[in-house]
Amino acid sequence: MNAAQHHTLSVLVENKAGVLARVAGLFARRGFNIYSLAVAPTEDERFSRITVVVDVESAPLEQVRKQLFKLINVIEIQELAPGDSIERELLMATVRAEGAQRSQVIELTAVFGGKVLDVGHDELLVSLEDVPERVDDFEDLLRPFGIVNLQRTGRIALPKLRKVPPVRSARAASS
Element holding 172 (H helix, E strand) = helix 170-174
Which pLDDT tens digit goes with each residue over 156-171?
A: 999 999 888 878 776 6
Q: Strand ranges (DSSP E) for the chain?
A: 6-14, 34-41, 47-55, 74-79, 85-96, 115-119, 123-130, 147-152, 156-159
Which pLDDT tens digit goes with each residue over 17-51?
A: 999 999 989 888 888 888 899 999 999 999 999 99
Residues sharing a CB contact under 8 Å with residue 157, sequence separation 6 or more, in sequence order: 8, 10, 51, 80, 85, 86, 87, 88
pTM: 0.79
